[in-house]
Amino acid sequence: MTSNGERGRAATGLVVAKGSFAAMGGAERDLMRNLPALARRFAVSVATLHPVPELEALCSELGISLISPEKPWEPPTGALSAVLDAGMDSASRAWARCSGLHDAISDSDVVHLVSGDGSLALLEHVPESMAVHLHLLEPHRGLHEDVLHRKVDGSPKRNLGLTSALLSRARRRDIEFIRGLTDRPRSAISGNSSYTAGRIGEVYGVEAGVLLPSVVADEFPSEAGSDEPVAVGDMPRPYAVSVGRASWVKGTWGAVSMLAGSGVSLAHIGGGEADDLARLVDHASSCGVGLWVAPRLSSPELASLMRGARAVVSMAHGEPFGLTPVEAFSVGTPALFVDEGGFRDTVIDGANGRLLERGDQAAWHSALEQAADAQTRARWTEAGRSRIAELDLSPEAHCSRLAAILDCL
């Protein structure tokens, strides 16, 4: 396959597709972060069932065609929809309503599909002979694990055995779609970390490579910029920061429990369901832990909050990659993370932060004391930034890695 960088040869036509950008979480931000670099190397068009203003503005700025249905798609909700796997069929119909999608695929060389709600249904509209790369950020956790079926405190939302049985049809279809993709003559699957690649093998029985996400240094600069507020939030100091929607899967309850008796408060960024937040507030009160919860913050606001923290912490369950440690390294705040999942790709225990056993509260409290030491903070910051450079998480590197994958299709 050819690229814009190959003088005198046509650029590779690349359809970059994701089911929905509505959540505007880490996956959506990562894809948008990479679009400028992709547009410099490929002839890019973007397809999605649910665009957002930020994506529309970026595509307009880059001169990229944005393909979407007239009315943004919303996944069906409710237990019956989940049991019947109505989301897949609904998404497939929405893709069929996207004017210009067929022509864009026909005129391109490869489809780069990023997983998420509605994404896999696009495969029903892509010819078998077409080259397809799937960036599978994680196996569908609602189908293959129970962590999404628990309340913030870990208690089941409903009977877990019954839930698993009711989702069996959707689970089978999910596996069939992934295995069906690997049966195509020109296809590849990549996880976003070595942990995710391993989970893909466990769940689907297929091989997966690794395509790391990217980081733009300007979003979390080493020194506070002019657009960064002096202070964010109103919580007792010292405090730790956790990021992500308050939930069992993000380990928010465990983070509060861990801080009990440490004298460290928690600033939790990401909001959550009203019932879960009420439970969390009560839990923090019973643990004697100061808690401040905010919805999503801008990058300058989050950088400022992290910069003033004792540490950035997470006890997330099976986090696929997790950009939060990298953001902590960037601003110079100690990264204390559970020794699980994709955190192991970035945090090296004792060198640039700590990886800690989930249930060892004494070890976490000791790490929080380490994080207060100025020399330790400086040493971990230097090593953390070296780790970022070693991994080379720039959008340009991401683009080059993707190009190498596509060259093999």
Give the position of tokens 């903070």: 377
Residue 24's pLDDT is 85
**Residues 196, 243: one domain?**
no
Residue 75 carries which side chain, given as an amino acid letter? P
* 254 plus 164 within the same structural domain: no
Please tell me whether residues 146 and 79 are part of one structural domain: yes
Helix segments in 152-248, DSSP class H: 160-166, 168-183, 194-204
Exposure pattern of 377-399 as b/e (b: 16+ CB <10 Å)? beebbebbbebbeeeebbbeebb
| Cα angle: 188, vertex 109, 16; to 5 degrees | 70
Contact 38/14 with Cβ under 8 angstroms?
yes
Of 54, 48, 132, 133, whose CA–CA distance to 94 is shortest?
A: 48
Res 1: pLDDT: 46
Question: CA-CA distance, 24 to 296, in Å (whole number)?
Answer: 10
375 and 257 fall within a common domain: yes
The enclosing domain of 116 has a CATH number of 3.40.50.2000
249/246 Cα distance (integer angstroms): 8
Give me the pLDDT at residue 10, please. 62
> Are 49 and 178 in the same domain?
yes
First to last CA, the chain: 8
Model pLDDT, residue 28:
92
Contact (CB, 8 A) for 14 and 37: no
Establish if 6 belongs to a structural domain: no
Helices first, then strands: H and E counts in the chain: 16, 13
Question: How many separate domains does the chain show?
Answer: 2
In a domain, 174, yes or no: yes
Give the tokens for residue 340.
Answer: 């699980």
Residue 36, preceding bond cis, omega within 30 degrees?
no
Instruction: Identify whether residues 244 and 291 lie together within a single domain.
Output: yes
Same domain flag for 134 and 191: yes
186 and 279 belong to one structural domain: no
Give me the pLDDT at residue 224, please.
77
Q: Residue 296's domain spans which residues?
A: 217-391
Residue 77: per-residue pLDDT: 82
CA separation for the pair 299, 221 (Å, rounded) = 10
**31, 101: one domain:** yes
Q: Give the pLDDT of the chain (409 residues) as one tens digit per residue.
A: 444 443 334 689 999 999 999 988 888 989 999 999 999 999 999 999 999 999 999 999 999 999 999 999 998 887 777 777 778 999 999 999 999 999 999 999 999 999 999 999 999 999 999 999 999 999 999 999 999 999 999 999 999 999 999 999 999 999 999 999 999 999 999 999 999 999 999 999 999 999 999 987 778 877 877 777 767 777 788 999 999 999 999 999 999 999 999 999 999 999 899 999 999 999 999 999 999 999 888 888 999 999 999 999 999 999 999 789 999 999 999 999 999 999 999 999 999 999 999 999 999 999 999 999 999 999 999 999 999 999 999 999 999 999 999 999 9
In whole angstroms, give the CA distance from residue 140 to residue 120: 11
Q: What is d(CA 190, CA 182) in angstroms, rounded to the nearest whole number?
A: 12
Closest among 394, 28, 3, 315 to 147, alpha carbons compared = 315
